[in-house]
Amino acid sequence: MQAKELFKLLLREQLGPLLRSEGFRGSGPSWRLEHPSGNAALIYFQRSRWNTADRVEFLANLAVASRLCWGWQLSREPERGPTASPSALYVNDCPLWLRIGAPSSEGRGEGAWWTISSGMRLAPLATSVGQALRWRAIPLLRDHLTDAALCRWLEAHDPQLGWPPATWRLLYLSVLLAAQGPSSRLDQVLEQLQDRAAQDPRPPWLAEHVTDMRQRAMTAAADAARAAQPPNTTRSPTARLAKYRG
Quick: pLDDT tens for 93-121.
899 999 999 876 444 444 689 999 999 99
What b-and-e string marks burial along 90-113, b requiring 16 or more CB atoms within 10 Å of the CB? eeebbbbbbbbbbeeeeeeebbeb
Tens of pLDDT, residue by residue over 163-180, are 888 999 999 999 999 999
Q: What is the pLDDT of residue 109?
A: 45
pTM: 0.85
Q: Where are the domains of the chain?
A: 3-151, 165-244
